[in-house]
Each structure stands twice: as structure tokens, then as C-alpha cells.
């Protein structure tokens, strides 16, 4: 092995056995292609072991780790079955593993640690181990002290990421809808989409882990298998890059230069005209023409005549950025005036409904029950659509938490806490305390709109694409402008899919002792707040009327926004 970035992917489906898996081999092979992709990870060499023996796997691992050269990055991935022995040591199982003699016919993680520590190279190397198997959280730890295990490791250090950890389920999962192991699905998604990448366009391994962890918590919000990140490593390790972000930075630089030239040219022209007419430059008519859009706005700030174009640009740019916002993603630039958000509401009648999912509903989780009667005593207004980016900016004055992608796209990457700031400002604009998030009960009542089926149209998920943007019809997991899909019976759009929606309630493990009057359930020890509705990257089961999840109120998520309630 002579490359500086070296990979080994291991996938075991255990065909024709009681351990048979569906997607482990495909996961390994797809990950190999991503590691080799010049636009993502740029590995020099990646080998694969598919449905192989524990002896061949051990031989390959030892060879790679012992022969790694100066400043090499070694990446080893395993997808298959894991088991712990009598001393809680992790054992990796292969096609020739025999249950009656596990120690002799499986690969102990202790063997991998010894290979990492092998003092074959005087030069530093980095090692990343990724395990997608049951009990993988036991890898590399005695207790939780990773440093105590690998403190003798020569080189830069070792990072271990596992699909299970010290809390939640210790069982790794596959998902037929995702067509992957759940953990590896989000690993691949993070690498391919580049969403965890920083502003510099580079994807750091710890940011990738945080992306996977949050995705898995959303996928299974009640007692999910929590991935684990253990490191004895100095600094931050780059595992890949996001071409999308890097190219976008180049494009934004071009847009910024064009904007600068346009402002300066407008100033030069106006300045010359007014100077020739002997006028003072106290009223500047700035005309922005983008495509067919012409917006004339008057600046009533006195501006002295000056030849310092940098001063003029700074003034105009400051004005521009305080009055208008432009899209950093769309082909054309859209201007959004800072003013009335013009949110459209639908009147929701008072009534009763059965909240939660009944036992036997396809895709149901226990925390969606028990089914219980809720009485909504008073009618209310609910946003016809999720709050859009245009509406957010109209109230908040700027897109401080996200890149403005389009006026009619739902706002996202805003935390529950930040939504409260939005609501407070909107109430001040109206001069009345009438806006808030809906309670979880109000949200589900409005979503169902009188129905009792899995979705607000019926049970058949094959028709979901007519009503929602979800995983099966969203290329690259992209959010879409609101209102493009069919509404429910009460004319509410996007209650299924497109974007998860914050509601007022705290998260609870079930509906035992939940309020029956439609009010928000805000007591309890949980720190999380509830999200509802599913999103564009979620499978059909996660877009049902009863689906619920939970996130920390201070955190921002790429597919979480909100919908407003207006009290009557």
C-alpha cells in the first residue's frame, strides 16, 4: 500500500444462513465508490472484502495497518453482525463463524487494536474505524476510556465511529425503505450530499458523526440506537469535501462582484447626472433590474459627493443588505422587501378526534399511543403552508441562520428557540399576543382533518407522492416551494413531508397522562421539543399523521421548520 489515503470496506450478508442480511454488501460497495470519488473523498486505494472469512479479513487488516506510510489515513469499514463475548469484548462475525466456538472463528476487535498499535512505521498515521453492527459501541473501550486502550498508538491518533453506543438500543438496523443499514444510510447521505461540511467546503469526521447522530435520533426519536464517537486524535480530520459548497462559494464571489459593479455603476451614473444638473446628492433613486423585475426604492439618507468609491459602495451595500435579501442558490436574484410577511391562514373548526396511531397501523411506534380522545374546544387559524424563507426575513430582517434559497421555500435550519424569537417579533408587529406554535394535539387534529387513516387521504402510501414531498420523489432530498402538492380536507398543504414542523410540546415517551383538551404538554423532564409531519428525506412511514419525533430546542436541523397558529 503506497497511497496516502487507504481504505478497506468489509460487507457480509451471510447468505443462506440464519444471520442473513439484505444490505451489508451493497452498503460496503457503495461506500467504496464514495471513498474513491475524486469529488468527495479522493482515496488513493480502497480494497473490499465481500462475504469473506475471518482469517482473510484479519490478514487484510493487519497488512494495511502495518504497511501504512508517512502521514497516511487508513479508513476501515465493517458492515455485518457483531456480538459480545463473556468479557464484553466485541467480536465481528464472518461467513465461517461458528456459534459453538465464537472466540476461535470470529475477529476480535482487540486484534484490530493490536494491529493499530503495531510499531511498523516511524511516521505518524491516522486511523478511522467505522463499524455498522450490533454491539459496536463496545469497540475500542474498556469502560468508556478509549485513551486507556490506544494510548500507545503511534502517530496522529485513532477515531472510532460505531452504529450503536452506550445508550439506546444495541441492535443495528436495516431498513427496506432506505435500502441500507440505517446507520450507513446516513453515513453515505452525509458524504454524498456534503451537508455536514463546513463553510470552507471540507467535511470533518466529527461533523459527519454529528450529522449521523442527529439523523438517527430523528429517524427513531424514542430510544434510538445512538452512534458513538471515540477519539484519541489531535486536531480535526478531513474525510471529504463538498463540491457543491466549494462551487457555490465561487459562484457567490462572482455574484458579489457583479453586485458591487452594479451598485458602483448606478452611483457613477446618478452622481454624474445630478452633478451636471447642479443638484445635491441627497435623494438617490436606485433602480435594480434583475431579469424582468424592476424595483425602484428611494434612499432618503443625505450622501455627500465623494470620489471615494469604496465609501460609496460600503454605504450602498449596507443599505442594500438592510432592505433586501437575495437568493444565494437560485439562478436569478430575488429581492424580498422587509415588511409584512403576508401569511395565509386557514380556519380550523372546534371538534373532537382520536389522537395517536392504533395498534396494527403500518409503521407505528409505541410512543404514538395509546390512542386517546382529545377535544379542541375553540376554533383557531393555522398557517395554510409552513412559514417560508420570505416570511421569516420579512419579520426578522435577515437570514441569520440559513442561506436564502428562495422566497417560497419553507424556512429551515431554525431552532425551536429561534422560532420563539420570530413569534415574539411578529406579535409586536401586530400589537397583540395572537401568534404561537400549535400544540401537538392541535397539529395532529388539523393534519387529520376528520380522517382516521395513516395519512390524511387514506392508508395507501403509493398515493403519498400526490400529497407530499418525501424520500421516494425528492431527488437529492431537496425541499420544495410550499403548496405544490394536494392539500388535506381543510386546505392545509405540506402537512405530510417536505419539512418537519416544530410544535409547542415537550417530548414524552407515550401519551399516558397527556392533556385531553388540546393544550400543549410542557411539563416533564425531557429537554426535547416535538416535531411533526416528516420531511423530503423521510420514508413514507415517517410522514404519517401520527408520526412524531423530538429534537433539542437549541439545535438547528436541515429539514426542520414550522407552521404558525393564529388565535381567534
Instruction: List alpha helices for 71-202, DSSP H.
Output: 102-105, 109-117, 146-150, 182-193
CB 440 within 8 A of CB 521: yes
3-class DSSP assignment, residue 563 = coil
Pull the grid cell for residue 349.
Answer: 373548526
Of 130, 140, 135, nearest in space to 79 by CA: 130
Q: What is the DSSP string of 423-445?
A: HHHHHHHHTSS-EEPPPHHHHHH
For 321, phi and psi rounded to 5 degrees?
-75, -15
Residue 372 has pLDDT above 90, yes or no: yes
Kindly report, residue by residue over 14-45, the tens digit of the pLDDT: 998 888 999 999 999 999 999 999 888 989 99
> If residue 373 lies in a helix (H) or strand (E), which one and from where to where?
strand 372-376
Give a three-class secondary structure readout of 20-53: CCCCHHHHHHHHHHHHHCCCCCCCCEEEEEECCC
Query: Would you state the pLDDT for residue 294?
Result: 25
When pLDDT is averaged across residues 188-197 and rounded to a whole number, the result is: 82
Domain ranges of the chain: 5-241, 245-323, 345-567
3-class DSSP assignment, residue 381 = strand
Pull the grid cell for residue 343.
Answer: 401569511
Q: How far apart are CA 291 and CA 217, in angstroms?
A: 44
Instruction: List alpha helices for 129-280, DSSP H.
Output: 146-150, 182-193, 205-219, 243-276
Cβ-Cβ contacts under 8 Å for 548 (sequence gap 6 or more) = 221, 367, 368, 440, 530, 531, 532
Pull the grid cell for residue 172.
Answer: 443495528
Residue 515 has pLDDT above 90, yes or no: yes
Kindly report, residue by residue over 291-347, the tens digit of the pLDDT: 222 223 323 333 333 445 455 445 444 444 433 333 332 222 233 334 467 899 999
Kindly report, residue by residue over 145-161, the tens digit of the pLDDT: 333 333 323 335 788 88
Kindly report, residue by residue over 465-502, the tens digit of the pLDDT: 999 999 999 876 689 999 999 999 999 999 999 999 99
Q: How far apart are CA 280 and CA 66, in angstroms?
A: 77
- The β-bridge relationship of strands 238-241 and 202-204 is antiparallel
When pLDDT is averaged across residues 81-109 and rounded to a whole number, the result is: 91
**C-alpha distances out from residue 305 to 14, 274, 313, 409, Å:** 79, 10, 13, 41
Query: Would you state the pLDDT for residue 168?
Result: 58
CATH 3.40.50.300 describes domain 345-567: no
DSSP 224: P
Query: Would you state the pLDDT for residue 7?
Result: 94
The dihedral built from the CA positions of residue 186, 189, 191 and 196, taken in this order, carries a sign that is negative
3-class DSSP assignment, residue 372 = strand
Pull the grid cell for residue 252.
Answer: 457567490
Ramachandran category for residue 436: left, alpha or beta (phi over 0 → left; psi -120 to 50 → alpha):
beta
Kindly report, residue by residue over 214-272, the tens digit of the pLDDT: 888 888 656 667 788 887 776 678 888 877 766 766 676 666 666 656 655 665 665 56
Cβ-Cβ contacts under 8 Å for 481 (sequence gap 6 or more) = 406, 408, 409
Fold of 5-241: Rossmann fold (3.40.50)
For 484, phi and psi rounded to 5 degrees?
-85, -20
When pLDDT is averaged across residues 519-542 and rounded to a whole number, the result is: 93
Of 360, 413, 410, 364, nearest in space to 384 by CA: 410
Q: What is the DSSP string of 106-142?
A: SEEHHHHHHHHH----SS--EEEEEEESTTGGGTT-S
Give a three-class secondary structure readout of 497-510: CCCEEEEEEECCCC
- pTM as predicted: 0.48
Cβ-Cβ contacts under 8 Å for 492 (sequence gap 6 or more) = 346, 382, 384, 446, 447, 449
Pull the grid cell for residue 265.
Answer: 455603476
Most confident region among 186-195, 260-269, 376-385, 401-410 by mean pLDDT: 376-385
Grid look-up 491516522 returns 126
CB 503 within 8 A of CB 530: yes
When pLDDT is averaged across residues 371-387 and rounded to a whole number, the result is: 96
3-state helix, strand, coil in the chain (%, to 5): 30, 20, 50
Mean pLDDT across the chain, nearest whole number?
80
Residues in the chain: 568
Q: How far apart are CA 498 and CA 348, in angstroms?
A: 22
Q: How far apart are CA 170 and CA 265, in angstroms?
A: 63
Residue 130 has pLDDT above 90, yes or no: yes
Amino acid at each position: 500500500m503506497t497511497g496516502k489515503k487507504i481504505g478497506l470496506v468489509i460487507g457480509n450478508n451471510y447468505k443462506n444462513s440464519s444471520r442473513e442480511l439484505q444490505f451489508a454488501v451493497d452498503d460496503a460497495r457503495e461506500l467504496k465508490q464514495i471513498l474513491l470519488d475524486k469529488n468527495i473523498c479522493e482515496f488513493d486505494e480502497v480494497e473490499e472484502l465481500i462475504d469473506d472469512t475471518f482469517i482473510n479479513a484479519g490478514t487484510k487488516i493487519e497488512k494495511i495497518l502495518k504497511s501504512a506510510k508517512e502521514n497516511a489515513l487508513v479508513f476501515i469499514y465493517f458492515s455485518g453482525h457483531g456480538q459480545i463475548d463473556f468479557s464484553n469484548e466485541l467480536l465481528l462475525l464472518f461467513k465461517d463463524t461458528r456459534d459453538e466456538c465464537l472466540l476461535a472463528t470470529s475477529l476480535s476487535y482487540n486484534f484490530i487494536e493490536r494491529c493499530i498499535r503495531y510499531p511498523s512505521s516511524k511516521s505518524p498515521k491516522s486511523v478511522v474505524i467505522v463499524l455498522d453492527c450490533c454491539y459496536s459501541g463496545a469497540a475500542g473501550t474498556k469502560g468508556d476510556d478509549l485513551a486507556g486502550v490506544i494510548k500507545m498508538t503511534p502517530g496522529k491518533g485513532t477515531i472510532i465511529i460505531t452504529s450503536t453506543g452506550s445508550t439506546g438500543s444495541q441492535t443495528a438496523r436495516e431498513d427496506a425503505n432506505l435500502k441500507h443499514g440505517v446507520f450507513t444510510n446516513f453515513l453515505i447521505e452525509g458524504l454524498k450530499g456534503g451537508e455536514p461540511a463546513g463553510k470552507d467546503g471540507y467535511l470533518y469526521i466529527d461533523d459527519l458523526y454529528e450529522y449521523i447522530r442527529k439523523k438517527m435520533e430523528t429517524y427513531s426519536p424514542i430510544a434510538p440506537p445512538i452512534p458513538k464517537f471515540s477519539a484519541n486524535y489531535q486536531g480535526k480530520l478531513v474525510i471529504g469535501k463538498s463540491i457543491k459548497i466549494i462551487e457555490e462559494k465561487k459562484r457567490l464571489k462572482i455574484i458579489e462582484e457583479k453586485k458591487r459593479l452594479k451598485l458602483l455603476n448606478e452611483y457613477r451614473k446618478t452622481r454624474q447626472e445630478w452633478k451636471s444638473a447642479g443638484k445635491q446628492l441627497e435623494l438617490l433613486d436606485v433602480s435594480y433590474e434583475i431579469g424582468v423585475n424592476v424595483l425602484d426604492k428611494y434612499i432618503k439618507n443625505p450622501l455627500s459627493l465623494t470620489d471615494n468609491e469604496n465609501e460609496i459602495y460600503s454605504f450602498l451595500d449596507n443599505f442594500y443588505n438592510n432592505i433586501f435579501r437575495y437568493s444565494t442558490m437560485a439562478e436569478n436574484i430575488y429581492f424580498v422587501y422587509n415588511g409584512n410577511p403576508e401569511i395565509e391562514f386557514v380556519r380550523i373548526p372546534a371538534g373532537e378526534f382520536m389522537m395517536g396511531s392504533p395498534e396494527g397501523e403500518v409503521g407505528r411506534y409505541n410512543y404514538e399511543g395509546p390512542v386517546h380522545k382529545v377535544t379542541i374546544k375553540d376554533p383557531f387559524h393555522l398557517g395554510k403552508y409552513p412559514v417560508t424563507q420570505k416570511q421569516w426575513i420579512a419579520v426578522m430582517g435577515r437570514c441569520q441562520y440559513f442561506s436564502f434559497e428562495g422566497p417560497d421555500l419553507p424556512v429551515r435550519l431554525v431552532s425551536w428557540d429561534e422560532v420563539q424569537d420570530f413569534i415574539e417579533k411578529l406579535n409586536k408587529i401586530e400589537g397583540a399576543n395572537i401568534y404561537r406554535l400549535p400544540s401537538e394535539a392541535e397539529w395532529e387534529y388539523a393534519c387529520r382533518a376528520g380522517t382516521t387513516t395513516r395519512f390524511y387521504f387514506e392508508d395507501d402510501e403509493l398515493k403519498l407522492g400526490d400529497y407530499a414531498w418525501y424520500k421516494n420523489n425528492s431527488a437529492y432530498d431537496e425541499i420544495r416551494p410550499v403548496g405544490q402538492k394536494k392539500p388535506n380536507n381543510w386546505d392545509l398543504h405540506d402537512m405530510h413531508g417536505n419539512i418537519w414542523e416544530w410544535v409547542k410540546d415537550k417530548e414524552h415517551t407515550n401519551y399516558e397522562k397527556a392533556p385531553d383538551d388540546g393544550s400543549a404538554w410542557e411539563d416533564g423532564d425531557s429537554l426535547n421539543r416535538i416535531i411533526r409531519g416528516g420531511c423530503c428525506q423521510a420514508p413514507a412511514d415517517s410522514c404519517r399523521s401520527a408520526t412524531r419525533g423530538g429534537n433539542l430546542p437549541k439545535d438547528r436541523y436541515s429539514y426542520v421548520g414550522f407552521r404558525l397558529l393564529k388565535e381567534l
